[in-house]
Structure 1
Amino acid sequence: MPLVVQYSGRSGTQLINVVLPYYNRFTTLDRFVSRFTKLVLDGQQHLMLTVVRYTDGFPTMGEDEGKRDHDNVVKCINEANLKMGGGESRIRLVEKHAIFSRGAALMEGARAWDSRQDVILFLCDVDIAFGKSFLQRCRANTQPAQKAYFPVVFSSYNPDIVYSVIKKKPVPVLTNYDRKRLINRDLGYWIDFGFGMSCQYLSDFRRLSGDFLNITGWGLEDVRLYEQFQKSSVGIVRMPDPDLVHVYHKKQCSKYEVGRRFNSCLKSKALNEASRLEWGLWVYKNMGDTDDVREFLKIFQQAQVAGGG
C-alpha cells in the first residue's frame, strides 16, 4: 500500500530534536538560533536543538579566530536558553575537536540524546529556515519503524542577480519567506536531488545510519542515509515542503575534494545562483549587449504585473 502524505494529525506533542552540524559560520548560526528561539516562544514547546560544533575544517581557522568563534557560539546559546526560560536548556552544544564532517556530526548529535527517549530527529543545516507547518508535517509523517520524512527543500537564488535582472531593489530571502512570497520559480528552485533534510525517529536513525564516520567534509552522507532507508522496511514520505527553505549563501567548494563530491559541489554552486534564464539575461546585461535585453525586460515586467507576480 502506498504511503499517504499527512498534512495534519498527531497531537504536536512529539518531541523534535533538531540536529545542527556547525563549523565557523557564526552570523548564520546566530540567525538560526534567533528564529528557533522565536518558534519556541510562539508556542512550539516540544522542540530542542543540538548544535554540533567542529574546531577544524575548510576554510581553516587560526587560533584566535577559533577561540572567538567558540566564545560567540557559547554566548549565543546561553543567551537564547535564558530567553526561552524553563528548567531544561532547549539548546545543547556538543564540541568536537576534529575536522568537520556533516555525517559524523549527525551521528554525534544522535549520540548526545538519551536513548531511553525515542524522539524525532530533524537533521538540519544552518542555512535552513522552517516554521510551524513544517514541524507539523515532520511529526505527522514519521512513525517508529514505519515512516520517515525526506522533504524536498526549496532553495533560494542569489537575490543580487535575480533582482538586478528585473531592475528592482533586492528583497532579502527571509523577508520573502516570512511574507510567504518566496515559493516562486523566479526566486528559487526545488532541490529534488538532495536528501539532507529529514525527519526520522532516533531508533530508526541509529539502526539504519550506517558508517557515516568515514565521510569527511560535506556531501554524500545524505544520499547514503536515504539509500539505507530505501533498503529497509521503513516507508519514505517525500514531497516538496513549502515551509522548508534553503537561504541563499555563497557556496565554497574545497580544492581538496575530488571526483563525485567536487563535481556535486560545483553543480550545486551553479544552480544556487539563478535560473538559466536569469543567468543568461545577467550575462547579456553585463556584457553590454543590452538592446534585446531591455525590450525583453519590458515585456517580462509587464507580464509580472498582469499576473500579480
Structure 2
Amino acid sequence: MADWYLLYVVSSKAAAPPGKLPQRHPERQTGRVAGRCIIDYTHVTCVDEQEGVHYHYFELGKNADPEKETDPRFKHAFTAHPVLDPVHMYRLHKRFAHLELERTYQEIEQLQREILNTSSLSVEGEQSATWPLGINSPFQPRTRFEVLRWDYFTEDQTFSCADGSPKCELIGADLADVTDVISTAVDELNRKYQPVLHVRKQQLLNGYRRFDPTRGMEYTLDLQLELVTQKGHSRSITKRVHLVRPLSEVEIIPMPYVTEASRINIILPLTAQDREYAGRFLQAFADIQGNENSLLTLLFIYDPFQAQQVSQNDIFGQVKSQIAEYERKYQDFKIPWISVKTDAPSQIRLMDIISKKHPVDTLFFLAGVGSHVTTEFLNRCRMNTINNWQVFFPIHFQGYNPEVSEHGQQSHPVTLELLRDAGRFDRDVFEEACFYNADYMAARSKMAADAQENEEILEMLDIYEMFIRYSGLHVFRAVEPALLQQYRSRACNPRLSEEIYHRCVQSNLEGLGSRSQLAMLLFEQEQGNST
C-alpha cells in the first residue's frame, strides 16, 4: 500500500475534484472554498498527476459514514469531499487514523516474517530469533545478585508490596495493568482458536510478572478457561500463556530552561539525637563556600522538657558554639538558626515556619544531618528543580555500619566511597528535597482544607506525599551518587505517622550491612557458639 496523506477540504458545498476549478458564484464571494484560496494566492491549479505521482480523490456519498466506507479508492485518496462540518472532519480523521494503524500492523507482521526467514540462515537456525520477534532478547544476569525477580499476583492481590508486607491489595495502576493483561491474553486466545473454540469465562489461577530493563514487562499467566465448541459443548481447561509489554519509544519531554546560578537556601533540621553529627555537616558546608552561592539555616528542635531547661542546660549549646567559631574564622560566613519547640517534628510543620520567612522565589534544599553536601550535588539540585514545574527528591547513598562492612579490619575508612560493599541507595528515606518556596506554598494552600478537618494529616504526611497529592507538579525522585551519608542510626519518632515510622525502622535495619556481610557475621557467631 502506497503512503498517503489526508487533506481536509471543508466547505458549505461540495469541493471541486482535482483537475477541475470550482466555478465562481456571486453567493460565494464572502466565503470562498479552501481550494479557491490556494489557487488565488499560489497560482497553482489542482492536478491529479505530478512528476509521475498520481493524486487520487474520493467523493463521499450523501450522509455517508466514513467509518463504514469500504471502497478501495477511499484508502488511497489524497483528498476527500465534501466535508461539511467539523464533526464530519473528525470522523473522517478517525477512519484514516484507523487505516494507518492497520497498515502499521501489517508492516510489523511483514518485518517479523523477514526476521524469521533471515534467522533460518544463521548458525543457530530459527532458534536465534527471540520471542517476541523484533523485541530484544531477555536480560542475562552475570551474577546471582543480578537475577531478575518474579512477582506473584492474583486478580485482586499482589504478594510483592512496596512497604514489605507479605500481601496487599491490587489498586491503581497495578490493578489496571493486571486487568489489561488478562483481557489481552483472552483476546489473543480467541483470535487464535476461533471459530473452532471460544473462551466464554476465565479465571486467573497464578500470575507472575517481572520488569526486564532490556525489553519491558514480562508476564506468565495460568488461566482456568471455559471453552465453547462450534457445536455448543463446553469444557474447562488450564492453559499457561506468556506475554510481553515492550518498552515504547523513548520520548524527550520539553523542559523549561534553568541555570546553575540560583542561590540555594539549605535547611537543616536538628534534633537532640542528631546534634553529634552537626559538626561534620558544618565542616562540609564551610569547605564549599568559596565556590557556592548558598545559605545555611539550622532548625534546633526542642521537645517541651528540653525547651524548659534551655536557660540552664542548652542541649544545642555546643553546636551554637561551633557556629560562632566558624563565623569568626571565615569572613562573610553567617549561619542563622531558629529554635522550635515541638514533640512531633514533622517536615510540613517545620517548613511552615521557614516558608513564611523567605520570598516566594527561594530555592530550598531540605537536608539531612548525615548528608555530605558537595558543589556537584547542589548544581544538580538547581538543574532538577524547576519553578512551577518540577520538584526533586534525591535518593542518597547511605554507608553501612563500619562494624559490619569493615568487620575484621584494623581501621575503618574515613571517607565513604560509592561501592556496592560500602553502602546502598536508601529508598526508605525522603528527608532530602529540593523545591521552590512558591511551589511549596501552592501545595500547602491546597492541603489547608484537609488539614482543618483533620489536623493529624500534618504528621501523617511528609513533604514528598504532600507534593504528590496536592501540587500537580512533576515529582522527580532518582538516585543521587553525589549525595553521600555516613552511617548513623536514625531516631524514629513514634509520634509521627505509622508509615513514616515504619520507613525509618526499615532504613535502620537495611542500613546495617549487605546480605553477605550479615551472613558472614552470623556464620562466625554460630562457629563461636559451637566451639
Alpha-carbon distance in 1 for matches of 2:339, 2:512: 32
Q: Is the 8 A contact 2:443 2:467 kept in 1?
A: no
Residue 509 of structure 2 is aligned to residue 270 of structure 1: yes
Task: Please list the CA deviations of residues 189-239 of structure 1 after superposition, one character each: whole Å capped at 9, or x if unmatched.
Answer: 11234332111111111212446874688x8514423423xx534223332
- Alignment counterpart, residue 281 of structure 1, candidates 513, 520, 524: 520
Which amino acid is the alignment partner of residue 239 of structure 1? A
Aligned to 2:297: 50
Which residue is equivalent to 2:401? 158
Distance, in Å, in 1 between the alignment partners of 2:421 and 2:311 is: 38
| Residues 253-293 of structure 1 deviation map (CA, whole Å, 9 limit, x = unaligned) | 456667434433321221111112211111111232699xx
Instruction: Report the Cα offset of residue 18 of structure 1.
Output: 0.7
Q: Indicate the residue corresponding to 1:305 in structure 2.
A: none
**Selected match of 2:353 from 108, 111, 127:** 108
Consecutive unaligned residues in structure 1, runs of 5 or more: 292-309
Equivalent of 1:82, from 316, 320, 328? 328
Residues 160 and 170, structure 1, Cα contact 8 Å, conserved in 2: no
Matched, 1:224 2:465: yes
Please tell me the residue identity of whatever aligns with 2:430: F
Please give the secondary structure, in 1, of the residue aligned with 2:480: strand
Residue 295 of structure 2 contacts residue 335 of structure 2 at CA under 8 Å; is this kept in 1?
yes
* Residues in 2 aligned to 1:14 and 1:250: alpha-carbon distance in whole angstroms: 33
CA distance in 2 between counterparts of 1:130 and 1:124 reads 9
Write 1 or 2 for the structure with the bigger share of helix: 1
SS at match of 1:77: helix
Q: Which has the higher contact order (CA 8 A, sep 6+)?
A: 1
Call closer, same or farther: CA 1:38–1:197 in 2, change over 3 Å: same
Mapped contact 2:269–2:300 kept (Cα < 8 A):
yes
Counterpart CA distance in 1 for 2:346 and 2:287 is: 26
Q: Say which structure is richer in strand.
A: 2
- CA displacement at 1:97 relative to structure 2: 2.5
1:137 maps to 380
SS at match of 1:240: strand
1:37 and 2:286 matched:
yes
What SS is found at the alignment partner of 2:391? strand
Structure 2 residue 302 is the aligned partner of structure 1 residue 63: no
SS at match of 1:21: strand
Residue 146 of structure 1: aligned partner: 389
Which residue is equivalent to 2:440? Answer: 205
Matched to 1:169, the amino acid is Q
Give, as a single letter, the amino acid of the residue that structure 1 aligns with 2:443. L
1:50-97, CA deviations, whole angstroms, 9 ceiling, x for partnerless residues? Answer: 111111179x799379833232232222222333322xx631101112
Shift of the alpha carbon at 1:246?
2.4
User: Identity across aligned pairs (percent)?
Assistant: 20
Give distance in 2, aligned partners of 1:261 and 1:156. Answer: 21
Instruction: Give the Cα–Cα distance (whole angstroms) in 1 for the partners of residues 501 and 370 of structure 2.
Output: 20
Give the 3 Å change call, closer, same or farther, for CA 64–234 of structure 1 in structure 2.
closer
Q: Quick check: 1:171 aligned with 2:412? A: yes
TM-score, normalised on structure 2?
0.46
SS of match in other structure, 1:96: strand
Q: Say if 2:400 is the partner of 1:183.
A: no
CA distance in 2, matches of 1:278, 1:61: 42
Greater alpha carbon shift after TM alignment, 64-73 vs 259-268: 64-73
CA RMSD of aligned residues (A): 3.2
